[in-house]
Amino acid sequence: MPEMVRIEMDEIKAILEALIYVSEEPVKEEEILGVFPVDHSETVRKALEELVLEYSALPRGLRIVRVAGGYRMQTRPEHDSWIRSLYRLRNKVRLSRAALETLAIIAYRQPVTAPEIQAIRGTHPMAVLQTLLERRLIRALGRKKVVGKPILYGTTDEFLVHFGLNSLADLPSLEDFPDLAQPEASADEVIPAALEGIPPGGPEIRAAPSPGEEIFLEGDTGEEPGVPEPPMRAGADDGLTSPPRPGPSSDEEE
């Protein structure tokens, strides 16, 4: 508790306003009183009542209400339509065609690694993968037990919410898209790209590794998968084939 002398009523109201504003959960009265010296209790209660009335009386966008036994700041119901408009604008995540194609590969072939994505698209996917990770549309599932232990990627619940899907089983079959050559595509359209190797009957959701394929899931190695890492190349004399080299330039976000 900060060392304080007698506090003026206006200052108490300002402190109360700050306490309620920064709290993610409703602030209970006993928590508020615990912040102030004991001899301020009655003054704090009075200041709290006055602050609630002031917020109710003035034409402000915020109000202080009692919720679940505590106090919380919230917007006024009459402003809900304006707030929804703002969030609709913010939630229109525009993705480049490269990002949409990469996202489609991951959705239909997960778990999948960056080298596998590169083998399908022919370009290095690291920049696009980083963007999809930042937008929480994909996540790292673990590492594949091959040379370099590349990260395995899969989609997230945010991906399902963004595209209005209940589960991955609701992804459309590629047979539903006879003409996939579109000049432009946006994240508002679920348009899988014409991807070589994707089964036309629908997503290939691999719950278990393919025959001969070993996978490290999260926790197997004691290390957290983080940001994408470039695939490691095998040495010239170890008998292993290096993954395809990236093209002259990698995909960049629009």
Could you tell me which residues come within 8 angstroms of residue 111 by beta carbon, excluding any fewer than 6 positions away? Answer: 141, 142, 144, 152, 153, 154, 206, 215
Interatomic CA distance for residues 174 and 180, integer angstroms: 9
Q: Which are the contacts of 241, defined by CB distance < 8 A and separation ≥ 6?
A: 234
- Least confident range from 13-17, 61-65, 170-174, 195-199: namely 195-199
How many domains does one find in the chain? 2
Give the C-alpha separation, 102 to 125, whole Å. 7
Calpha distance 254→93 (Å, rounded): 12
> Rounded to an integer, what distance in angstroms lies between the CA atom of residue 156 and that of residue 71?
34
Kindly report, residue by residue over 152-167, the tens digit of the pLDDT. 999 999 898 888 888 8
212 and 151 share a domain? Answer: yes
Query: In this structure, what token pair is assigned to residue 126?
Result: 């690291």
Mark whether 113 and 212 lie in a shared domain: yes
pLDDT exceeds 80 at position 43: yes
Residue 32 lies in a domain: yes
Best CA proximity match to 61, nearest among 91, 93, 86? 86
Closest Cα partner for 109 from 228, 226, 221, 192?
192
Q: Are residues 26 and 70 in the same domain?
A: yes
Domain identity same for 124 and 178: yes
Same domain, 146 and 73: no
Residue 90 has pLDDT above 60, yes or no: yes
Model pLDDT for residues 182-195, shown as the tens digit of each residue: 444 444 443 344 34
Q: Same domain, yes or no, for 211 and 107?
A: yes
Q: How far apart are CA 199 and CA 138, in angstroms?
A: 21
Is residue 21, in this structure, part of any structural domain at all?
A: yes
Q: What is the CATH number of the domain that holds 198?
A: 1.10.10.10
Q: Do 68 and 103 fall into the same domain? A: no
Pairwise CA distance, residues 120 & 86, whole Å:
38
**CA 180, CA 201: separation in Å to the nearest integer?**
15
Does 108 share its domain with 209?
yes
| Domain hosting residue 49, numbered range | 9-77
User: Tokens in use for 215?
Assistant: 């996978």
Report yes or no on 241 lying in a domain.
no
- Up-side HSE of residue 100: CA atoms within 13 Å toward CB? 22
> Do 209 and 222 meet the contact criterion of CB atoms below 8 Å apart?
no
Task: Determine how many CB atoms are found less than 10 A away from the CB of residue 159.
Answer: 20
Contact 91, 49 (CB under 8 A): no
Strands 138-144 vs 151-155: parallel, antiparallel or unpaired: antiparallel
Q: What is the mean pLDDT of residues 233-239?
A: 45
Q: How confident is the model at residue 35 (pLDDT cuts 50, 70, 90)?
A: confident
Q: Is 138 in the same domain as 57?
A: no
Does 103 have pLDDT greater than 90? yes
Residue 106 maps to a domain: yes
Residue 60 and residue 67: Cα distance in Å, rounded?
Answer: 19
Q: Are residues 66 and 105 in the same domain?
A: no
